[in-house]
Amino acid sequence: MDKIEVRFGHRIKELRVKQGISQEELAFRCGLSKNYISDVERGTRNISLKSIEKISKGFSVNIKELFDFK
């Protein structure tokens, strides 16, 4: 089983692709850098709760949807 960072990153990428937006657009919506979003999607970033909240707002989804791993 993959580490939580990797599973979370895959979920973020899945939601981003589903919404048809680029990493740059998501970063803009979240107030984060494109490099930060890229690191999250690759599972190399240990993301903070504050950043998780920003990403959920950037996607306009409930935080729990970010953790809906399939």
Q: Where are the domains of the chain?
A: 4-58
Q: Does the pLDDT at position 70 exceed 90?
A: no
* pTM across the whole model: 0.92
CA distance readout (Å), 65 to 26, 32, 33, 38? 16, 19, 22, 19
> CA-based Rg of the chain, rounded to a whole angstrom?
11
For domain 4-58, give its CATH number from 2.40.37.10, 3.30.70.920, 3.30.565.10, 1.10.260.40.
1.10.260.40
pLDDT per residue as tens digits for the range 3-49: 999 999 999 999 999 999 999 999 999 999 999 999 999 999 999 99
> What is the number of other CB atoms lying within 10 angstroms of the CB of residue 38?
16
C-alpha angle 62-43-64 in degrees, rounded to nearest 5: 15
**Separation of alpha carbons 25 and 46, rounded Å:** 21
